[in-house]
Amino acid sequence: MKITAIKAHALNFEVNLDITSPAKTAQHQACVVEIETDADISGHGITSIGPAKPIQAAIESIAAPAIMGMDPLNNDRIWDRLYWALVPRGQSGIGMHAIAAIDVALWDIKGKALGQPIWRLLGGARERCPVYATFGFGFYETDELPHAAEAWMERGFSRLKMTVGNSALQRRDEPRLLSDVIIEDKRRVAGVRDAAGPEAELFIDANCSLDYFHAVELAGALTPYHISFFEEPITQNDVRQMAELRRQTGMRVACGQNEAQSYRFRDMLVAGAVDIIQPNVVITGGFTQCQKIAALASGFNVGIDNGGAWPFFNAHLQAGIANGGLVEYHYSSVEACRLIYDGLPEPADGWLTMSDAPGLGFDLNRERLQNHLI
């Protein structure tokens, strides 16, 4: 089999989040890749949390010419070719987003060619994955959040994640003190814990928006609310500071969704900086590399969970390997997926059952895709 065409589409999704009233609006950029072959099999992939237009350019002008004509089943050979073409000194950023989107599409092709879902090709560790709902975004007012939490509990989700930190470092020159953000976060988490009840699992995510001091302050302030993990607590995923925060506070730390290279995960694991790592297949170099990172984590007796959204892609990784864990049912990215994909699976009672359909198991709707091109 040979790769005959590679197309990249830069997209912007405006999604309507109406689980509470009034509804909210969120935006996502993503780059969708389609790969065609001479065997009448095509695959699709995606990357996000990066600027879509430059990623599209990297795919079309550098990645596509480098791998045209190669056998799509040789995903490791192609991954290595793309590494040397796009990020030859171990860079991250746009080049790694391009590799991730292409690699996901290659695994979709591999699954279709072999008549198997990706999760089974990765190892078939489980048929159902536990799911958590990411619902508690910064655009909800403090008094709206408990209602949103109740709405998700009513939908059968008893594992809930909310953001904290609220872009604190990015917005410190407004001016807005980080200490004020922390005080407000304590109110927000207290309201959600009260609404969700003592048995719900509650996770928080600072999206790298805090410095070490305020992350430690917040972890201490939230001790009464039983937080199951603190995701991306510190700016730049500073490995030394995350290790120190973990030792000082006893809070479980999770991170890795925006990391691109495997050596970063090695450094986190060796330093004892994390309880859970979160390689994301649409960012961290696709299934080819995330599989290796998961294997690395297993040598440290550390598990992986899905952070960074795009659950329908990441569920294959979580289901496929033995140290896989939670799938992130990220409200706004799920709504974005509904805009361009058909045949998406639905979780029930907090679990996602994996499909036997080959490849990713859901289809790109090329007609609706046109509505979101940028």
What is the contact surface with Mg ion in residues (CB under 5 A)?
205, 307
> Whole-number minimum distance, CB 357 to Mg ion, in Å?
28
Nearest distance in Å: CB 231, Mg ion: 5
Nearer to Mg ion, 41 or 222 (CB): 222
- Encoding tokens for residue 15? 């999604």
Instruction: State the first-to-last Cα distance of the chain, in angstroms, to the nearest integer.
Output: 32
With contact defined as beta carbons under 8 Å apart, do 191 and 234 qualify? no
In the bound state with Mg ion, the residue whose beta carbon lies nearer, of 307 and 311, is 307
Tell me the H-state helices in the chain: 52-58, 64-67, 75-86, 94-114, 118-122, 145-154, 178-196, 212-221, 239-249, 262-271, 286-298, 311-320, 331-340, 366-369
Distance separating alpha carbons of residues 361 and 342, to the nearest angstrom: 10
Given the complex with Mg ion, which of 307 and 347 has the nearer CB atom?
307
Closest alpha carbon to 220 in 245, 200, 257, 195: 245
Query: Minimum Å distance from CB 183 to Mg ion?
Result: 22
Q: How far is the CB of 165 from Mg ion (least distance, A)?
A: 11
Task: Considering the complex, state which of residue 3 and residue 254 has its C-beta at the smaller distance from Mg ion.
Answer: 254
**Is residue 307 a contact partner of residue 231, using CB atoms and an 8 Å limit?**
yes
Interatomic CA distance for residues 102 and 144, integer angstroms: 39
The CB-of-163 to Mg ion minimum distance in angstroms stands at: 8
The least CB distance from residue 232 to Mg ion, in Å, is 6
Task: Give the other-Cβ count within 10 Å of 183's Cβ.
Answer: 12
Q: Which is nearer to Mg ion, 102 or 276 (CB)?
A: 276
Nearest to Mg ion of 117, 307 (CB atom): 307
